[in-house]
Structure formats: C-alpha cells, structure tokens
Structure 1
C-alpha cells in the first residue's frame, strides 16, 4: 500500500490545510502548473470531496481576502456544488453524453496518452504518484485523450477516478463532459502554448520539442445535439428526492453512526448529533473489486479513520454494505449520490446533507443556467 507523498488523510490534516490556505493571488495563479511553489490552487479538494471540509466552511474561510480572489475561489466552490446538484438530479445519466454527441468508449486506451510528450508524461506521473493534479493539467490529459486521440471519454475518466484522491463521480464525470464538449458544444483544445504558459520547463526538456504534436489547436469539430436528452436537465419535478431530507428522519434509537466516503469529517451531521456512539465505516468489498481504486485512495481512507479513532471509537468492516448495514441500527447522513440507496433503507436515523446552496427545480443544462435560480449561501 502506498500513500500520496504530499496529501494525507484525516480531519487533522484537512484542518491544517485550510488554516494554511491564503486566497490572496488565487485568481491569477490557480491555473499555474509549474513550478509547484508558484501554484495558487488550494489543494483542498480531497478534503472537500470526502466531507472533511464542508463547502460552507471553506466558503466562509475565504472571507476577508482580496475581492477578485475570493470571488474566483468561490466560483470554484460553486462548480463543485453544481456538480453535486447535477449528479443528485440526473444520477446515472451523467455517465452518458448530456447535451452534445461525442464518441465514447468503455475500453481504456493507454496509447491515447503518449508518454514521449513531456507534458503528458509529467501529468500522468503526478496523477499516478500523488493522486492530485491542478485543474489545468487535468484538462490537458482529458483533451489529449479525447479531442486529440479520439479515444472517447468514459474510460479516461474512469482512470482519473481510480487515482484521484478527490475523485468523485459528480465532479469527474462533469469535468470530462465539458472538456470534450458533451456538455457545452465547445471542446477544450489542448495546444502547446498552454503548456508553455503554465509549465514552460516541460516544453524545454521535451524530446518532441522540435516536432510537437500539439503545436497548433486541433481542428474545430461540429457536435450534434443528443437526441432525446433527459428532461431532468431542464426541470426537476421531484425536488424532494434530489435534495434529500430537510429535517432529521427518526425511525428508532441509533446504536452507531455509519459514515460513507461522501462524509468522513468530524462535521458529519449524524456524527455531531451522537458524540457518544461509535463511528462505523464499511469498506465496500464489491465496489472495491469493481473500481480497482489505487492504494493512494485506500490509504487516504485508512488515515482518515485512524485520525478519527484518536477522538472516538471507530469500527471498520470489510464486506457488502447491503448485508452489514442492516445490523448496525445506525444514524447516517444522506448523500447526493445514486450509491447511497444501499444505505438509505437501513438507517434508523437519517440526517440532511449540508448543502452549500439548496437545489432548485430549474434548469441545470449549464453552470450559468443553474446559477440563475440559485439561492446564494449566507
């Protein structure tokens, strides 16, 4: 088992990362790739993804910084919330093209990421070793895999999901869809000038420096609208299901608190409500066998549980949650993901999800359409 060399799991590590983050300069440097010392990216995403840092806490922590930087940083938090709203509403539809038709394949194509390109090799090595990339280099890899190589997007995003410490279906699927144009009709065109602007040393050392395969932008492509897209993109007629419970649902007295990968932090609502009860986590054996997550991701979970165990009793299971969860008499926090259904019916107490902004019933066809009907957090 190998951990990420730079990002450790646990509430203690999450709190330290948030305390050390300074939003000053974020707008100008968030897309800088190299040198690492000049990056403005927060590196908070693994902790946000797993509920160690709720979005509202991070939103509030940015207050007081320079206005342009706070605004840009909060825009990125809104993007995370948009991804969660979209996934909560459309569910497994997010695994398919949403608005524009882009070829996709379920077969992974390693050749779509030619390692002789220094920019690709560096980004892939960072993904596989660290389990984290700045957004700009994620877009490089996604565009190279799809727009340049024509390998589709589903298998590529699956590789990301396997390695990224912040890998979430919501953000990962949405990011790949937008990069290839399936969500916007405008693919992200990966070209050399982007590498020279964000990480010039990669081009300088590249063996293909004088014969660069991405010297110019890829040719424009005509994307066609998806026939019969899900109407859920336009309107939600079952908002109650999308947003989950808005108050605590009490069925009987809980004997434990069941944590999921969506919510592993001390601020988990069910955990906060029952400080005297043991916390339980189930390593979902059928899911792990299917997903083949990297050891970095598994170590991140173990480190998080070890950190929590320093403050309260923690019980860990390995097996099928559908068999284990019904025996726990657990309180649990609802999560906006399709896989939560394996827990929903077994909980004796169900707590609301801590949204940054409550979901609405209007259009989610695009980030801008979603924001028009959004109630901003206070």
Structure 2
C-alpha cells in the first residue's frame, strides 16, 4: 500500500485523518482525548511532574483536583518517556512519595518481564480459576445507574485513562462480583486505554480478580466513600446500594502454575547494538516512539517508518482515541506512515530497529531484514529468576 498522506499537526486535522484512513478499524467514532500525544506533550508532563503527596493521594478518584496520580502512563507505554528517565526525574522527591512512585514504575517493569517470558500465555489464568459469585449479578456488570461505575466507565471511554483505583473497581466488579469472563473485561478496557499494553493491563486484571494470587480484590461501597465520596452522596441507590458489601466470592480453584514463573530464561534482547549491515531506514513501533528511541538516536540521518498493522488493528478494534493519540505522536515525529502488514510493507528494506519485549514484535521482526538491532532501555534487565511474586522480585 502506498505511504499514507502526511498527518496534520492540528488536532481537528488529526481526528479527520484517523477517521478517513483508520475509521474502518476502530470500535467507536474517532475523537481526541484530553491527553495529547507526542513528545512535546510528554516532555511538558515530565517537566511539570511533582510527586509530593503521591503516596497519600495516588488512589484518589474524585475530585480530579485532589488526584495524586501523575498521568504519565500513556507516554511511558509508548516509549516517549522511558522508565529509566522517569525514575531519575523524581530523585529529589520526598522519600515516601519517591519510594511509592518508583514502586509503581517497578510494577510496569515487572509486567514487561512477565510478558517477555510468558507471552500470550498471560491471557490464561496464572494460578487460580476465576471465582464465581454466590448470587449471579443481573444485567450489565458496569451498571449505568450506579454513579461509581457510570463515572469511571465514562472517563475510560471518553478520556482513555483512569487512575489505578478506578481500574481495580471496574475489574473487580466485572470479574469478581458479576462473575463475568475477566479476559473479556480486560480486552474492553485495553481497547480504550491510551496506556493499554498487554503486559500491564493483563497482569493488573489477573491480580485484581485473583487469578494470580487466589485473593480477589473485593470492590464495595466503602472504597467509593473513601476515594470518591461525592458519588455516594449523589447516588439514587444510596439507600439500597448494590455494592454495599464485599462480593461474596471466595478464591478460585488452584491451577497448575506456569513453570516459567518459577524461573527460566527471559529474552531481554541484546545488551549492545548488533550491526550486520547498513540500514536504509529506522523501523519504529508503538512500543518506542520517543526521540530517545535507541535506533532512532543511533541513526539520526535515516528516514523513519511506522507501519499501522492493519490485520492486528482489525482484530483489536481499538478506540479511535487511541489511534488519534498515536497519530499525534507520529505527526510530531514526521515519519513515513504506512498501513498494512509490516512484513509486506517493509519487505526488501534493510532496517535498523530497537529490540522490543513484546512477542508480536519478535514475530514480525523475524520476517524483516534487520541489519542493525539496538538494546531496549530496561530499568532492570531481566534475568532467569522467579517472577512468581512482584514484591520478592522488586526487593532483589
């Protein structure tokens, strides 16, 4: 397929571009999120970063003005802000807030390690079958008449971002209280999240619904009253709250754990550049779209190319907001953008690329002529140790 037309720089033009060229691949009408894509927006967010009070306020849902969450995750997910850069940015923050914030960065890194080792097996329950509710939940699990669920789902679908506490509410409500297929809920959330990654999203859902630990998180009214009290005060069902008590669901049945969690090789890619020839272009992917992408930085005079993987997008049916965010990022980079199968669109071109901890990347890379491969910017380079426990892994 020929190269797509240049992406406009202004937001209305970007939305129109996505609607014209990618609208057939989305699950909704393309629109812009309040969060803008691109390196300039990422750099501005990092420059404004202040984690003072983060430990106490990171789980606040409402009011938005009281939230401690930073909103950096979409830029981290797409490599606009590499984890080592964000880690160093809070070096002078208050100790408790710095420790808690860095703990969340480590969770992102841990999820990447797990996904790099397990791949698509992360879509299966890790250790426990999902618990079933004692009383079946009637109707839509994210009920539109409950403000705690309506407000959070609206923010998910209109903004494409949620604080972690709200994600846990929706995951627990869907997979624990309502007893629905947790993977269907995870996929629905992934479609809309600007920071949606198979690694963090799937592992977060596994933890919340108890398939990783056997201890499901029980969303109930007291959490709403603590994290967003105005929702309960305005709720028409306050006197007969359907989520008054913790969900009556026990631990799921134990399953044989994937032995790879106990130990084994994790493919971490090269630890230094591997150059086998002279590349003619830099291949960029959605995992690493920042100015600091190692391959891009190593070959500043080469053209860069990004392929919108049409077969993959047709299967995922992402929200138009995600594609607008991506298009804004690509517009700022000024790269060649193509639509189709990467193996076809990039055939015959000697390429430089950054190794990426995503199974799909390795599958596609195997079909291409990669003559220069650059290391991934790990926060902690993976080894062969156990990944069964985040807390144990984080302390190593």
Select the residue among 228, 253, 263 that pairs with 2:288: 263
Select the residue among 55, 66, 69 that pairs with 2:97: 69
Superposed CA RMSD in Å reads 1.4
List runs of 5+ in structure 2 lacking aligned partners.
1-14, 16-29, 133-137
Residues 1:115 and 2:144 are matched in the alignment: yes
Residues 1:308 and 2:333 are matched in the alignment: yes
TM-score, scaled relative to structure 1: 0.93
Select the residue among 223, 245, 251 that pairs with 2:252: 223
Question: CA offset at residue 113 of structure 1?
Answer: 1.2
**2 CA distance for matches of 1:332 and 1:244?**
12
C-alpha contact (below 8 Å) 1:103/1:152 kept by paired residues: no
Residues 1:141 and 2:164 are matched in the alignment: no
**1 CA distance for matches of 2:52 and 2:31?**
30
In structure 2, do the counterparts of structure 1 residues 64 and 215 end up closer, same or farther at CA, with 3 Å as the change threshold?
A: same
Indicate the residue corresponding to 1:299 in structure 2.
324
Deviations 1:325-377 (A, max 9, x none): 2333110001101101233222121111110001121110120232244xxxx
**2 CA distance for matches of 1:262 and 1:352?**
13
Select the residue among 82, 85, 109 that pairs with 1:57: 85
In structure 2, do the counterparts of structure 1 residues 110 and 255 end up closer, same or farther at CA, with 3 Å as the change threshold?
A: farther
SS at match of 1:283: strand
C-alpha contact (below 8 Å) 1:97/1:177 kept by paired residues: yes
Once structures 1 and 2 are overlaid, which stretch shifts more, 163-172 or 201-210?
A: 201-210
C-alpha contact (below 8 Å) 1:184/1:366 kept by paired residues: no
**2 CA distance for matches of 1:44 and 1:110?**
35
C-alpha contact (below 8 Å) 2:33/2:160 kept by paired residues: no
List runs of 5+ in structure 1 lacking aligned partners.
374-378
SS at match of 1:111: coil
Higher relative contact order (CA 8 A, sep 6+): 2
Q: How does 1:86-105 map to 2 (within 5 A)?
A: 86-102=114-130
Indicate the residue corresponding to 1:187 in structure 2.
216
SS at match of 2:240: coil
Residues 1:27 and 2:52 are matched in the alignment: no
**1 CA distance for matches of 2:50 and 2:198?**
28
In structure 2, do the counterparts of structure 1 residues 134 and 4 end up closer, same or farther at CA, with 3 Å as the change threshold?
A: farther
Select the residue among 175, 184, 192 that pairs with 1:155: 184
In structure 2, do the counterparts of structure 1 residues 51 and 110 end up closer, same or farther at CA, with 3 Å as the change threshold?
A: farther
C-alpha contact (below 8 Å) 1:243/1:359 kept by paired residues: yes
SS at match of 2:307: strand
Once structures 1 and 2 are overlaid, which stretch shifts more, 338-347 or 178-187?
A: 338-347
Deviations 1:284-312 (A, max 9, x none): 00001000010000001110011112xxx
Indicate the residue corresponding to 2:74 in structure 1.
46
Residues 1:371 and 2:394 are matched in the alignment: yes
C-alpha contact (below 8 Å) 1:330/1:348 kept by paired residues: yes
Question: CA offset at residue 177 of structure 1?
Answer: 0.1
Question: CA offset at residue 110 of structure 1?
Answer: 7.7
**2 CA distance for matches of 1:157 and 1:110?**
18
Residues 1:327 and 2:348 are matched in the alignment: yes
Aligned residues: 361
Question: CA offset at residue 220 of structure 1?
Answer: 4.6
TM-score, scaled relative to structure 2: 0.89
**1 CA distance for matches of 2:344 and 2:159?**
34
Deviations 1:166-210 (A, max 9, x none): 000000000000000011111000010100111111111112111
Q: How does 1:146-295 map to 2 (within 5 A)?
A: 146-227=175-256, 229-236=257-264, 238-239=265-266, 242-295=267-320
SS at match of 2:313: helix
C-alpha contact (below 8 Å) 2:131/2:176 kept by paired residues: no
C-alpha contact (below 8 Å) 1:183/1:366 kept by paired residues: no
Question: CA offset at residue 143 of structure 1?
Answer: 0.5
Moved over 3 A (4+): 1-5
Question: CA offset at residue 103 of structure 1?
Answer: 6.0
**1 CA distance for matches of 2:50 and 2:130?**
39
C-alpha contact (below 8 Å) 1:322/1:342 kept by paired residues: no
